[in-house]
Amino acid sequence: MTKLIIERGSRGQMATSLPKCDVPEKSLDELIPGQYQRAWDAIRLPEVSEPELVRHYTNLSVKNHHVDKDLYPLGSCTMKYNPKINDWTAGQPITAEAHPLQTQEMSQAQLQIHFELEQFLCGITGMQRFTLQPAAGSQGELTGVLIMRKYHAQKGNRKTKILIPDAAHGTNPASVAMAGYAAVEIKSNSRGLVDIDDLKSKLDDEVAGLMLTNPNTLGLFEERIQEIVELIHGVDGLMYMDGANMNALIGIVRPADMGFDITHINLHKTFSTPHGGGGPGAGPIGVVERLVPFLPTPTIDKMDDKYVINHDHPDSIGRLHAFYGNYGVLVRAWTYIRMLGGNNLPDISKAAVINANYLMYRLKQYYHLPYDLPCMHEFVLSAIQQKSAGVKALDIAKRLLDYGFHAPTMYFPLIVKEALMIEPTESETRETLDRFVEVMAKIDEEIRTNPDILHQAPQTTPVGRVDETLANRQLTVRW
Ligand SMILES: *Cc1c(COP(=O)(O)O)cnc(C)c1O
C-alpha cells in the first residue's frame, strides 16, 4: 500500500506534491481507461491584477437584474431581499461540510436545525407536523395530493377528482393529474373570489378535496373560506392550501385555523432564499393531526435529548427526496425566522400588505385594475387599455428593464387579460415604490405618444428583444 502515481501531462511535478495516500500502487492507465483521461494541458487563465478581477466580477454581476440591484416585483414568486446572514449560516462548516451519509450521532446539530424549523412552521401554520423533504412547491403539492389519496384509500372512499379554482397556479392541476385524479375547474365570481354556486354544482361524493390558494393569485382573501371548508368536509374531502406564497399571512392568519388540512409553504419565497432563475427551493408540507401517519418517511423526531431519524411509519406514503431535502434552503429559512424572532414575524406581512396596497392605489390611475378591492400582498393590473394603442403587457415588461426594474409576472392568472401581477414585498422603501410608479406612469405616456419605443424595448440591456416564439420552439441552452 503506497501512494497513487499520477504521471501524465506536462506538469508532472504536480505528482510529487500530492500527499501520500494509502491506496494501492497503480498507474493512471490501470485505473482509468485511456479514452476517458483528460490530456493535461496548462490552463490558459489571463494574468490580471486584483482591481481588474474585482471590476470584472462586479460588472458581470450587474449585467442581469437581481434583488440586490433594484425592485423585482414578480407577483406570486416573492422576490424579497435575501439577508446576507442567511448565506453566512448556510456557508458554515456545520452546513456546507456536512455529509448526507454521516451517522445520526454525528448529525445532531443538523437534525436540530431540521427539527426546530419544523416546529417554527407548525407554529406559523397551526399544522401538527411538517415534512421538509419536498424540493419545490410543486413537489410539495404532489406530496400533499399523495397524502390525500392514501387517506381516502385507507377509509375505503371512492374518490376521483379534485376541485381547483380557475385562478390557480398551473402546478395545481399538474400535481392532481400526476397523482391520478381528475382536476375539475371552479369559476371565479365577478369579485375574483371562488364562485360558491359553481363550487356547489361540482361537489359530490367523488370529490377528494379542494386545492385553494388563499389569498388567491389575484391577491384577494377568500372571505367565505369557512363556508367553503364546510362544503368540502361535508363530502369527506380534504382542504389543501397552496401556501407557496404566505407573505400576507405570517403571524396573522394560520391555515389550520381557516380549516385547511394540508398546506405547503415555499421557503424560497416567503422565507427569502435567492431563487431567481429556477432554484434551489424547498416546499415543505404541513398536515393536521389525522394525516400525520401518512407523511413521508423518515421524520426527524426528538427522543429524550437526542434527535433521531425515524423510519417507523407503516402508513407513510414513502420517501420524497433523498436524505433531508434541500438542506441549504432549510438553513436559510431557519436563519431568517430566528433573526426576526417570533414576535416580529407579523411585521413582514403587515409591511408587505401595506406596500402592495400603496402601489395598487397609485398605479390604478394609469392601468386598469379589474378587481378593485383592497389587496393582500399582491395585485393584478390589466394592460387592456394600453393594448388598444397596440402595446402588449409583454412590451411594458420589456420597457421596465430599460428603466432598471425587473418585470412583474405577466399573463397570469389566466382569468385577467394582459395581466401584470405585481408583488413589491415588504423589503422595499416608499422611495423605491414611488420611483416604480413614476416609471409606470412614464411608460403609459410613452404608449400614447411614441408606442414604437415599447416595441423595441429593451435597448439598454446586454441582450435586446429575443424571439420568444423561436426560443420556445427551438430551445438551445448552450453556446
Ligand atoms: C410558486 C408557486 C407554486 C410553485 O412553486 P415551485 O416552487 O415553483 O414549484 C405554486 N403555487 C403558487 C401560488 C406559487 O406562487
Q: Which atom of ligand 1 is nearest to the CA of 171?
A: 10
Cβ of 75 below 6 Å from ligand 1: no
Report pLDDT for 20: 61
Contacts of 392 (CB under 8 A, 6+ apart): 383, 386, 418
What is the Å distance from ligand 1's center to 169 Cα?
Answer: 7
Q: Which atom of ligand 1 is nearest to the CA of 213?
A: 13
For ligand 1, mutation pick of 175, 241, 242 (most atoms within 8 Å of CB): 242
310 and 298 Cβ atoms separated by less than 8 Å: yes
The three cell numbers of residue 2 are 503506497
Report pLDDT for 85: 97
d(CA 384, CA 448): 13
What is the Å distance from ligand 1's center to 137 Cα?
Answer: 5
Report pLDDT for 35: 86
The rounded radius of gyration (Å) of the Cα atoms in the chain is 26
Cβ of 242 below 6 Å from ligand 1: yes
d(CA 219, CA 355): 13
Torsion of CA 83, 86, 88, 90, to 10 degrees: -160
Q: What percent of the chain has pLDDT over 70?
A: 94
What is the Å distance from ligand 1's center to 219 Cα?
Answer: 14
What is the Å distance from ligand 1's center to 225 Cα?
Answer: 21
For ligand 1, mutation pick of 169, 213, 265 (most atoms within 8 Å of CB): 169
The domain spans of the chain are 98-340, 346-462
CATH tag, 346-462? 3.90.1150.10
Q: Which atom of ligand 1 is nearest to the CA of 268?
A: 7
d(CA 367, CA 62): 30
154 and 315 Cβ atoms separated by less than 8 Å: yes
Cβ of 78 below 6 Å from ligand 1: no
What is the Å distance from ligand 1's center to 255 Cα?
Answer: 17
Report pLDDT for 363: 98
391 and 213 Cβ atoms separated by less than 8 Å: no
Q: Which residues does the chain have with pLDDT short of 70?
A: 1-24, 278-279, 479
Q: Across-strand partners of 310?
A: 299
For ligand 1, mutation pick of 266, 271, 423 (most atoms within 8 Å of CB): 266
The three cell numbers of residue 288 are 393536521
What is the Å distance from ligand 1's center to 172 Cα?
Answer: 9
Cβ of 173 below 6 Å from ligand 1: no
Cβ of 349 below 6 Å from ligand 1: no
pLDDT tens for residues 383-404? 999 999 999 999 999 999 999 9
Note the CATH architecture for domain 98-340.
3-Layer(aba) Sandwich (3.40)
Nearest-CA residue for atom 4 of ligand 1: 137
Contacts of 405 (CB under 8 A, 6+ apart): 65, 70, 71, 72, 73, 436, 439
What is the Å distance from ligand 1's center to 13 Cα?
Answer: 52
Q: What is the mean pLDDT of the chain?
A: 92
C-alpha distance from residue 213 to each of 83, 146, 188, 257, 289 (Å): 27, 18, 12, 15, 21
80 and 248 Cβ atoms separated by less than 8 Å: no
Q: Which atom of ligand 1 is nearest to the CA of 140?
A: 9
For ligand 1, mutation pick of 171, 220, 241, 273 (most atoms within 8 Å of CB): 171
